[in-house]
Amino acid sequence: MNNSSLITHLRHIDIAMPNFAEQRRFYTGLWGLTETAGDTGVSFLAAEGSPEQYVVRLREDARKRTDLIAFGAAGVGDVDTLAARLTAGGVRLVHEPKPLDTPGGGYGVRFFDNEGRVVEVSADVTPRRHRRVEAREPVPVRLSHVLMNSPAPEATVAWYIKYLGFRLSDTMCLGGRGEIIWFLRCNAFHHSFGIVRGPHVAFHHASFEMRGIDEFMRGTGRMRRLGVESLWGPGRHRAGDNAFSYFLDRAGNTVEYTTELEVLDEDTWHPHLYDLRDPANADQWGTANEMDEFIAAKSHNDADPGLFDAPPM
C-alpha cells in the first residue's frame, strides 16, 4: 500500500464529559482558550494565535470519552484519495467524504482507527481570523500535539504509519522493559501525534504551544497560583526538545503547556531511541519533579467507553 502522507497538520481534539460547565470554565477562564461558537452542551474553543476555527471541542455527555481527533489535508482531492485508500484497506468509515457542518465548514471524512478511536481528516475549512500573541501573554498560540494511550502500541503505530502516512521521529524506552512512547509527525514539527503504552485505550494528553519560554513560564505559574493540579514540570524533554508543564483539566484529562517544539530537517533526520532510565532524557533541565508510577498513572486516564461508537456530532 502507498503510505505517502496526505495529512498536513493537526486541527483539533474533541472530548466529552458529564461536567461540561465546569470543563468549559476551565478552558476559557483558566487555560486561555477563546470560545468562538457553541450551543447547549457544546463549546468550540480556539487558540488566539491559530487560524484553526477551534482546537478543542467540548461536548456534554453522560460518559467521559474522546469524541475524535481531527487532522487537515491540503485539498478535497486528498480527502477523497485518503478515503479510497482507507476503504481499499478495509478500514471502517464513520461517513464518506462530505461537506462538514462544524464551524468553518469544509469537506471531510471520518473513520475508526484500529482500536476504535474516531479520526477526521478535512480540507477547505475557512481559516479563522486570528492574531499575534503578544510578548508576556500567557495564552496558547496553537494546539501542538495529542498523544493517546494504547495497550497494543506497536500495532497502533504501524496502523497510523501505513494508513495515514505518519513518520516516526523518536521513541522512548525503559531499558529492558521495552519501548513505551512513539512520537509521530505529519509535517516538519517533531511530533503532532503520538502513542503511549498504557493499560487501555484512552486519551493521554493534549499539548498547547505558547509563544516562548517567558509566556510558557507565566502560564505555568498562573495554573499553580490558581490551584490547578500540577502533574509534572516545568522541564524540557529530550525528544522534541520542547519545554513542558503538565496539569489535569476538570475531567481528569492531562493537558500540557509547551514551547519551542523542534522543527526537523526531514531529509536528514533519523529516529532516536532514548532510554528514560537516564533522567536527562525525560528532562534536560533537571527542574521537573521526578516522574513516578503514580504520576504516570494519572495520564493513563479512564478507559475510553466510546470505541467503535461514533459521537452524535
Secondary structure (3-state) at 240: coil
d(CA 82, CA 7): 9
Q: Is residue 40 located within the same domain as residue 93?
A: yes
Query: pLDDT tens digits for the chain (313 residues)?
Result: 456 789 999 999 999 999 999 999 999 999 999 999 999 999 999 999 999 999 999 999 999 999 999 999 999 999 999 999 999 999 999 999 999 999 999 999 999 999 999 999 999 999 999 999 999 999 999 999 999 999 999 999 999 999 999 999 999 999 999 999 999 999 999 999 999 999 999 999 999 999 999 999 999 999 999 999 999 999 999 999 999 999 999 999 999 999 999 999 999 999 999 999 999 999 999 999 999 999 999 999 999 999 999 999 9
CB 298 within 8 A of CB 232: no
- Domain limit, last residue, from 62, 94, 123: 123
Give yes or no: residues 116 and 217 share one domain.
Answer: no
For residues 158 and 107, state if they share a domain: no
One DSSP character per residue, 66-125 reads EEEEEEEESSHHHHHHHHHHHHHTTPPEEEEEEE--STT--EEEEEE-TTS-EEEEEE-P
Q: Are 14 and 71 in contact (CB under 8 A)?
A: no
Cβ pair 107, 97 in contact under 8 A: yes
Distance separating alpha carbons of residues 169 and 184, to the nearest angstrom: 6
Residues 115 and 151 in one domain: no
Q: Which long-range contacts (CB under 8 A, 24 or more apart) does 152-155 make?
A: 152/115, 153/179, 153/180, 153/182, 153/195, 153/196, 153/197, 154/179, 155/114
Distance CA 97, CA 57 (A): 21
pLDDT of residue 4: 72
In a domain, 76, yes or no: yes
List the CATH number of the domain containing 35. Answer: 3.10.180.10
In terms of domains, do 113 and 233 share one? no
153 lies in a domain? yes
* Residue 48 near residue 241 (C-beta atoms within 8 A): no
CA 256, 247, 232, 71 dihedral sign is negative
Same domain, 152 and 289: yes
In a domain, 1, yes or no: no
Residue 136 included in any domain: no
Which residues have CB under 8 Å from 259's CB, separation 6+? 209, 210, 211, 212, 213, 215, 216, 242, 243
Per-residue model confidence (pLDDT) at position 144: 98
Determine, yes or no, domain membership for 75: yes
Total of domains in the chain: 2
Q: How far is residue 215's CA from residue 136's CA, in Å, rounded to a whole number?
A: 5
Enter the C-alpha cell of residue 237.
524533554
Q: Print the domain residue range for 281.
A: 142-300
Residues listed for the chain: 313
pLDDT value of residue 3: 60
Based on the fold, state whether residues 273 and 166 are members of the same structural domain: yes
Which residues does residue 245 pair with via DSSP β-bridges, in sequence order?
257
pTM to 2 decimals?
0.97
Chain-centre distance for alpha carbon 180: 17
198 and 288 part of one domain: yes
Sheet arrangement for strand 142-150: 230-236, 243-248, 254-259, 202-209, 142-150, 193-197, 179-185, 167-173, 272-275
